[in-house]
Amino acid sequence: MKKFFVLTVLFALPIVAYLFFASGKNNFARLPILTEDVTEISSLSSYDQEPVYLQDHISVIAFFGENLENLKGNTFNLDKKILEKYYGFDDFQFVIILPETARENAADFAKEFEGITNAHEWKFVFGSPNEIQNVFKSLNSPYQLSDESYTPYVFIVDKSRNLRGRDDDDEGSLFGYDSRDIAELTNKMNDDVKVILAEYRLALKKNNAGRKNN
């Protein structure tokens, strides 16, 4: 009986563990939509004057303001802990929305960090405080944008310009991720970026399979 019990436990335990982890909060599920119709940013200017679009892209967007130290620290954290894993995915982009007064500092910063980060992958766009505030307000998040157009929180926006996040986080809904908090980036945001990319890959596979069957 003891041998039978041990064998049963050894056989059943991996299956139970698999089912437990497979039923995790965001596994095999869509990342919830928290806000629809986020304002398009194509009217904001960029370094090469080519418009940057949220539509038809999976975007991580940040509002890092005029202070170069905030821009350096938050962007570096985000790039190293999250984004460098995902730049190779089609239609994925990291967009940093800044006031026009930060244009020169941002260029110097990106050049300085090119050797140690993926700075060439970052998309900087610039606007007036009112333009930036309009984009930020369209996220309909509980966070505030400072007078310098800064917040440490970054946001995931899908190809249809919907804000994605968590509607069942520990403290309620999670609209954005604190770029100063390494644990939040590594655990929650990393998981959620994986989920939304997997969601689009699955949709693409289904579309391709449908075309083959037609």
Mean pLDDT by 10 residues, the chain (214 residues): 53 45 50 97 95 97 91 90 92 96 92 88 96 98 96 97 94 94 95 94 69 57
Cα of 89 vs its chain's centroid, Å: 13
Whole-number pLDDT of residue 15: 45
Q: Is residue 72 part of a domain?
A: yes
Q: Is residue 179 part of a domain?
A: yes
Q: Is the pTM of this model over 0.85?
A: no
Q: Is residue 27 part of a domain?
A: no
Range of the structural domain that residue 144 is part of: 33-213
Q: Is residue 157 part of a domain?
A: yes
CB within 8 A of 63, min separation 6: which ones? 97, 98, 132, 136, 145, 149, 150, 151
Whole-number pLDDT of residue 16: 41
**Total number of domains in the chain:** 1
Long-range contact set of residues 169-174: C-beta below 8 Å, sequence gap at least 24: 173/34
CATH number of the structural domain spanning residue 144: 3.40.30.10
Q: Is residue 180 part of a domain?
A: yes
How many residues appear in the chain? 214
Whole-number pLDDT of residue 26: 44
Amino acid code (one letter) for 92 = F
